[in-house]
Amino acid sequence: MNALWFALASVVLAGYVILDGFDFGAGALHLFVAKTDRQRREVLAAIGPFWDGNEVWLLAAGGVLFLAFPKVLGAGLSGLYLPIFFLLWALILRGIAIEFRSHVEDPMWRGLWDVVFSVASALPPVLLGAALGNLLRGVPLDAAGYFALPLWTDLSITPPFGVLDGYTILAGVLALVALSHHGALFLAWKTDGEVHERSRKAAARLFLPLLGLWFAATWATVALRPDLFQQLAVRPLALAAALFAVSGLVTAFLGRRRGRHLLAFVGSSAFLLGILGSTVVSSYPVMIRSLDPALSLTALNAASSATSLRTGLLWWPFGFALALGYLALLLHIHRGKVGAPLEGEGY
């Protein structure tokens, strides 16, 4: 039961990264791929039907952790309080920027909210990537299951370190580039004309940096946590997920080169899913790694009672089916290319 809920929590978090990831990436790039007001409204029209629904997956992930692993949720929220505070403000500002920019027909007003939207879209991937880096590197959990970290110290990866150090910053930059590449492929799929061309070129330019950062982050993780990679030899699912990530990145590259942008976007989604899947399978059952391994919070020692886990399974299939059904409906209704809405309509 504990392993099942660990898998369910991982699925929801992966869904959030893939779905909200493309609108984070589109937002981070929109100042570069859209130069005029009409083109920027076209970008907003592409992600407009999806962005708020995508954020529900983050709430769902919090709900799953609250039900199944409340100690993990409590330790993570308290130990990473400041980054989570920044993340919430970024999510709030993204929504405000999307909704407010077209309320006034003034270039300065719209330019201000475009910059806010871009910055507030680029910050969450960095913060989420750094958070994952902290969980992989390890944090100073005490016997009560809590920890506290400053935002940064000297950026060293040796204690005392902060939330941001050399390793976690690398993880954050990798997340930003990966999701920007993901968002560029989404825009290349959903838009036409100049936005489409710039988005396709942005994806092409981001591919090599993404590949380099992935290799650098992999090398750093091997040096820091060699035990994770030892799991690839004994856990076939972890190796399969890693190969799935490689095949996804190849598919994204070939799909873009051949002009099959939906295929390229699906490949990018597979790449993200494979990376996350390989990481969580290799880490199981550890959820928050302590610098003292005996104090780590795991799916075994941090789970709710068996009764709570069994009860949760009664509503889980219905909730998950509802979320997937809503996503499928949106994709069906808003299939095809988008155009900029008329002034006063939509975004």
**Token pair belonging to 181:** 């590449």
Q: How far is CA 224 from CA 134, 198, 217, 219, 250, in A?
A: 12, 38, 10, 9, 27
The number of C-alpha atoms within 13 Å of 24 and in the hemisphere containing its C-beta is: 28
Helix 2-33 vs helix 261-283: crossing angle, to nearest 10: 140
Low-confidence residues of the chain: pLDDT under 50: none
Q: How far is CA 276 from CA 11, 141, 192, 208, in A?
A: 9, 23, 31, 20
Q: Which of 213, 182, 187, 201 is nearest to 257 (CA)?
A: 201
Instruction: Give me the DSSP letters along 85-148.
Output: HHHHHHHHHHHHHHHHTTSS--HHHHHHHHHHHHHHHHHHHHHHHHHHHHHHH-B---TTS---
Q: How far is CA 216 from CA 15, 79, 242, 247, 311, in A?
A: 25, 27, 16, 19, 43
Ordered by start, the domain boundaries in the chain are 19-205+285-333
**Token pair belonging to 205:** 């330019």
CB 194 within 8 A of CB 202: no
Strand, helix or coil for residue 297? strand
Element (H or E) spanning 285, and its range?
none
**Token pair belonging to 145:** 């299951």
The 10 Å CB-count burial string (b at 16+, else e) for 5-28 is: bbebbbbbbbbbbbbbbbbbbbbb
**Token pair belonging to 195:** 């936005």
First to last CA, the chain: 45
pTM of the model: 0.95
Q: How far apart are CA 185 and CA 259, in angstroms?
A: 11
At residue 208, the pLDDT reads: 97
At residue 347, the pLDDT reads: 61
Q: Which of 198, 276, 232 is nearest to 12 (CA)?
A: 276
Q: How far apart are CA 309 and CA 281, in angstroms?
A: 20
Express each pLDDT in 80-133 by its tens digit: 998 999 999 999 999 999 989 888 888 899 999 999 999 999 999 999 999 999
At residue 344, the pLDDT reads: 55
